Amino acid sequence: MKMDKLYIIHLDEDTQLACHQDKTLLENLEAHKVEVHFHCREGFCGACRTKLLDGQVEYITDPLAYIDDDEILPCCCKAKSDLKIKLS
């Protein structure tokens, strides 16, 4: 069986969360009971727009909602490294 790789999400100085690579970033945050605004969960509404301060993500669906260069849509991406994010 393939081992599920764990990354770390840094929310702020004191909060670090384990992040499963096989789940979306939004699912990971919800598993840790972090409140994230969301609607469509499919990358087109942009409700979950979040600032990515450090790290890399990969998209499982092409994001259609407008995001800035330093922003990501947690509902449709997975972590590719440890991440530092800032929730809006």
Judged by the rule CB under 8 A, the positions of this chain that interact with other proteins are: 35, 37-42, 44-47, 49, 62, 64-66, 68, 88
Tell the smallest beta-carbon distance from residue 68 to other proteins (Å): 8
Q: How far apart are CA 76 and CA 26, in angstroms?
A: 8
Tell the smallest beta-carbon distance from residue 30 to other proteins (Å): 11
Tell the smallest beta-carbon distance from residue 25 to other proteins (Å): 16
17's CB contacts (< 8 A; 6+ apart) are 8, 9, 11, 28, 29, 32, 34
Nearer to other proteins among residue 55 and residue 63 (C-beta) = 63
